[in-house]
Amino acid sequence: MVNSIETDDEIKASTEIEPKQYDTIIIGSGAGGLASAICLARSGQKVLVLEQHDVPGGWCHSFYLNGYRFTPGVHYVGLLNKGESTSTLYEGLGIANDISFFRMNPKAYEHCWIGDHRIDMPAGYENIQKVLSEKFPEEKKGIASYLKLVSDVSYELQLIPKVKGFWQHVTIPFRTKNMGKYSVFSLRKVIKKHIKSPLLKAVLNIQIGDHGLPPSKASFPLHAAVMGHYSSGGYYPVGGGGAMVKAMTKALKKHKGEIRTSQKVTQILLEGTKKKKAVGVQLKSGEKILAKRIISNADPGKTFLDLIGKENISKKLNKRLGKTKYSCTSLMLFLTVDMDVRKAGLDSGNIWLMQHEDLDALFEETQKVNILEGDTFPGMFISCTTLKDPISFDGRYHTIEAITYINHQSFQEFKNEDLQRSSAYLDFKTKLTEKMIRTLETVIPGVQNHIVQKELGTPITNEYYINSTNGCVYGTEKSFWQIGPFAYKAKSEIENLYLCGASVLSHGVAGAGYSGVETAAKILKCRQDDLLQADDTQEIKIYDAEDDSEYPEWMRQKMKVKRDRLTAGVDGFS
């Protein structure tokens, strides 16, 4: 790959290259890329965001099938109450007034279906402790000590970015003693010290699906951070993930930032021979655009191997990239059904379906290459988005999203196919769809008789739309030596090239957003907190998905219009 620009004269002479008009170009419009863009544009920079998909948002984008909305990467968000970290993020970005959320069932925002057992996870550590202590009275003491440790470690992790001044740096080891003590311990090792019941361990570990690693491989502080993120419950954006993206792009444009979709970047342009410097990008169309710096919201493999080129990076980085592991990939089933799902037992809470309580063994089962083996999948995440976002329900048709994790090698033979998919791929996809539906039937009996439309997303889908390595869903694998101080840094070895997103600071909607702010802070030579100033005029509105008594008039009117349209026969299935 040759992507270097050697001299200023050559730059000026090229008619293909636009004048150096941008301060920063951001490759990818996921939560991290957009957060960076807002911070930089607000500081006065001229910012351009380039997105290969025809809509912005990355994993946060929404799409429609016959008028019914689905969001592949936003299933719930945590810490949205005033003063909590996600709320602080959105207030600081100036988008809180433009987004609203529904609070998922506070008594059971997570439903644990483990074998024949049905155990609900309520919002709040105290409530979790009360519910689980009643079900496992012999474990009462261990439950209390374990949840306190999770709470302490989660809190300590949030302290680290806020450290200011000499004395705070000196005292941080004392204020984060639990996090330090358990930093190299696996989730399985820590929970084993507190909990004896295999079933209770599985319940407390059920959110491994939110980072994609089994208890034996997951870092305890990482899992504690995930549990801490949902400690006050789960929330779903009104309007799906696309509404969050809309708020972020609105904020970016307010500050004169620019975003272009359907713009695939094929190269990051460099100048210099020994010390490489990023000076722009080249698009698939051949167009070249220059900027003072580049931020890549793509994962490290896509950034350094595909866009920079192996020959342009150090041996050390090449070696590291060769050892880097990526998170698991997925099958995502998107359904519209014509049935009363509440009568079938669903509510606004998520369902984690696990065939048995040994989550390490179960994870290994999900990673078998022959994924057609067996009638059903060993695990599945299920949510009904029209119950999590009642404003989207038209009075008849519900939308369901079901996800299972798989090994990307299951799709190895289809890796090099173009958009015109082979009959073998389509047949494979059909068989997998049928297996997904059979698995879903164990939770919603008879659902296959009420499906009016269905679509299956595969690792090939993920690579095509999101451009993630092997279709991974969480960026780099969140194992011990790839997180925290061992994660990829915001500033790269290439001068003026920065990274953000799930592989840098943290994954998830809020984690990726914070990574974008952190990268912007590196560029602006300030602190993260400096870019997220408190703003009393900003506040997220939160409504109850299970109780419509306090819905505002605009929301009721919108719901009425949706139902009236269906009554009039104006829907995708008329």
Backbone angles phi, psi at 93, to 5 degrees: -80, -10
- pTM summary value: 0.91
Q: Are 87 and 540 in contact (CB under 8 A)?
A: yes
Residue position matching structure tokens 């295999």: 198
Q: Is the dihedral of CA 37, 42, 48, 51 positive or negative?
A: positive
| 112, β-bridge pairs | 119, 352
Domain boundaries, the chain: 8-74+240-324+478-531, 128-221
CATH of 8-74+240-324+478-531 among 2.60.40.1260, 3.50.50.60, 2.60.120.200, 3.40.50.970: 3.50.50.60
- Per-residue DSSP letter, 240: -
Tell me the pLDDT of the chain (574 aa) as tens digits: 334 333 333 333 333 455 558 999 999 999 999 999 999 999 999 999 999 999 999 999 999 999 999 999 999 999 999 999 999 999 999 999 999 999 999 999 999 999 999 999 999 999 999 999 999 999 999 999 999 999 999 887 775 555 444 333 333 344 455 666 777 789 999 999 999 999 999 999 999 999 999 999 999 999 999 999 999 999 999 999 999 999 999 999 999 999 999 999 999 999 988 789 999 999 999 999 999 999 999 999 999 999 999 999 999 999 999 999 999 999 999 999 999 999 999 999 999 999 999 999 999 999 999 999 999 999 999 999 999 999 999 999 999 999 999 999 999 999 888 778 999 999 999 999 999 999 999 999 999 999 999 999 999 999 989 999 999 999 999 998 898 888 999 999 999 999 999 999 889 999 999 999 999 999 999 999 999 998 889 999 999 999 999 999 999 999 999 999 888 876 666 5
Sheet holding 451-457: strands in order across?
A: 117-121, 110-114, 350-354, 379-384, 397-406, 329-338, 451-457
Helices (H), 290-418: 300, 315-323, 359-366, 385-388
Phi-psi region of 72 (alpha: psi -120 to 50; beta: other; left: phi over 0): alpha
Distance CA 260, CA 105 (A): 38
CB 428 within 8 A of CB 20: no
Closest Cα partner for 412 from 332, 329, 300, 333?
Answer: 329
